[in-house]
Chains A and B, each alone.
Chain A
Amino acid sequence: MKFKIIFALASVLLIASVLRFFFLDQLPPGLNTDEASQGYDAYSLLLTGKDQWGKSFPIFLRSFGSYQSPLYTYLTIIPTFFWDISIFSTRFISALSGVSIVFLTFLIIRKIEDRANIEISLISSLMVAISPWAIFFSRNATEANLALAIFLGAVYLLLLSLKNINFLPLSFLLLGISTYAYHAQRVITLIFIAFCFFAFRRYFFKKQILFVVSVAIFLVIQIPQFLLINTPGANRRLEQVNYFKQAKGSVVDKSIFIVRKFSAQYSAYLSPNNLFFNPDPQGVRSIPQMSVFYSFMIIPFLFGIKEILKRWIDPLVKILLFAGLISLVPSAFTGEPFYTMRVLPYLWVISLVIGFGGYSILNLLRQKVVKVLALVLLLGFSIPCFYINYFIFLKYERADYYEYPFVEVAKESERLKDEQFVVDTGREPQLYILFAFYKKYDPKKFQEENGLQNIADYYYQTELSKKHTVGNVELKPIDWKDASTEKILVGDEVAISDPQVKDHNLMLLKEFKDLEGEMAVRAFKSSF
């Protein structure tokens, strides 16, 4: 029996690993600028001990002025050390986190007080392994995915601590660390700790010393963040995305506005339409024609709600549901509709509900052969469906978000090392990072050419400069004075229109196409 369980779990983990690591460096095609920033910062930290702007081991990474949580980047130093700066090393931590989440799902659900807990945990981990959201965010360098993996590790240790209190300090250590993985995790973790304290207060009261030690460990880990709490570095992201400034009128009017807006944002995540059909509106966070779950999963989802209600008395079920529902709170305070990356713990809980439902449906089937056939059908439908939408459609239809043409421009600039390039970044000043990444540009030189003038104000520098230099490439809004010097100008049809080509006597050198074969950007030589 034990061999069967290990075999089943190993199979699930194999499926999870293949779906997450298969062609990881090629799909998605290229890197989006956030990923490239994480990868390049890791490279810079590895080689110089400083981030791209010249700050030594910052608590929050400035990146483009939004100050990311640091943990993902710091952990990426490890794969970068082994495999050099590359798409694979940049995404490795997220893919590994994705597989860990599947394994932790099995461990956590096994703790349910149910004689069928092994079957339920295997089916739940399979659901997480094949769910589109879990695969998608594991194949991008996603901080939230790492945060979820660490959070689930903490939850598992917390569950162990209910039988053996010695696990509690470890749990709180991980909870503390998880707050450095993703901004929203700071809020989720605090509410979660408060809930656990309330739910298990009698138990913790009997083990006061270890509980106090655990809380102390958590608080000590928060000190660096605490010291920066009044800087834009700590709060920039919330300031950028909340809707409080939109509230107008009297206090009552503003309160109603905020309550209504919060409720609308919150319930958008509960809607089956958004969960099972209508993808995240932002292309960079979604798969064409597919939402965070397959459409057919609504059926086990409905069965799963009933199964969860049957087990409502189990404290584990309560903890997991609560964790899922509170993880929507930070996202509900932002104006972006159905921002899937912020609610991964919630999506994980939905996967569990689907897993429970899957178990319920399989239970209706009497014969083992029929059950196995049902599982084979499930995989036989889900994986090809995912393959078509992700491995085929996404490659072409989302290539824009991964700036595929600029990969080619960066390679061209390496090939023509003696030429001076000017790349238009008027509308996208962050594009410089792709060149730094793909050219594996020396971080020390980058810091000298582009680093902050006053590093002491690191956590206050929220505005990104519009001009950057990466070796022989200047990235800035095109200044037509450049057309009178011997440079190669690169831009799309908006930056360098056909009339401008004619007016400035530019000579077309090369067209860079996207994966659909459409012209994306062009390189011109000035005829000086």
Chain B
Amino acid sequence: MAGKLFNPTVVLFLVSLLNFWVWRIFQGNIFLGVILLFLTFILFRLYQDKKGKLLIALLISIVLVSLFVLGEGWDKTIFAKSPAQVLLQDRRHGYLADNLGKAFTNKASQIFYARFSTPIYKMQENVFSTLDLNLYFFASHPRERAGIDDFEKYSFVFLPVFLIGFVKLLSEKKKIVIYYFLLALVVSAFISSKYRFGPVFFFPLINLAITIGFLYLVNFFRTKLKYEI
């Protein structure tokens, strides 16, 4: 029984369901929730070096999730500036012109500053907002974001397990995990941080990290304590 309980697939299943995030997604969009669970399991199987048709299943799942997420969560503000942003940009334009002279007032710099600097900054903001531990484990506390309905996605007791799993993933350098992580980052650049379900592309990765961290700890205690768990 204990052996079955610590079966990796069972652990992943429990981790994927024993979190607040998936139930919030189910409440809002049951199809999205199901696809994300499916994506989690595919990613895990691919991580375990299973290949073949699973890659196709992964790609199809990613496309389906993208359709849901980008349809509802596309960040319209990337290319549209708010009045406050326009004001700030104008003011900074003055500072840069005064201090940099021709290095700033030349045509290339002007075009870059006017058209690209703000979208690049916003996309960076979207990407980095997903790389925040507190977003997942503490509802962004202590740096809560104004105007955004932050919610706790995982209990904070999972945080140390997640960190162990993350370090293990990093040291293993599995290509599928790296490629998925990069893809999640690229897509998140275009998703608004106000999207009601949060950075769902990271859902499979975090479940994977927590599962691996948990299994590592179980194995560690089995070996160190020579205790039959």
Contact = CB atoms under 8 A, between A and B. Distances in A.
Interface of A: 260, 263-265, 267-268, 270-274, 276-278, 281, 289, 295, 298, 302, 305-306, 309, 335, 337-338, 388, 391-393, 395-396, 516
B72 interface: no
Interface in B87-140: 91-92, 95-96, 99-100, 121, 124-125, 128-135, 137-138
B171 interface: yes
Contacts of A274: 132, 143
Interface residues of B, number: 29
Q: Taking chain B's interface residues, is the majority helix, strand, or loop, or is none over half, making it mixed?
A: helix
Nearest to B157: A263
Given A264-B141, A277-B125, A305-B170, A516 B91 contact: yes
Contact of A264 (B100, B156, B167): B156
B71 interface: no
A388 B95 CA distance: 10
B76 interface: no
A309 B167 contact: yes
A255 to B, nearest CB: 14
Contacts of A281: 143
Given A264-B141, A278-B128, A302 B170 contact: yes
B224 interface: no
B4 interface: no
Interface string B138-174: 1001110000000000001001000100010011010
Contacts of A277: 124-125, 128
Contact of A267 (B91, B129, B138): B138
Contacts of A295: 124, 128
A268 B134 contact: yes
B131 A273 contact: yes
A265 B142 contact: yes
B142 A335 contact: yes
B209 to A, nearest CB: 14
A268 B131 CA distance: 11
Q: Which 10 A-B pairs give the minimum distances between C-beta atoms? A: A337-B142, A277-B128, A273-B132, A272-B131, A264-B138, A271-B132, A273-B128, A267-B133, A271-B133, A392-B99
Contacts of B132: 271-274
Residue from B134, B135, B171 with most neighbouring chain A CB atoms (10 Å):
B134
Contacts of A391: 99
A278 B95 contact: no
12 contacts: A260-B156, A263-B156, A272-B128, A273-B135, A276-B128, A277-B128, A278-B128, A309-B171, A338-B142, A391-B99, A392-B99, A395-B95
Contacts of A516: 91
Contact of A306 (B92, B124, B125, B173): B173
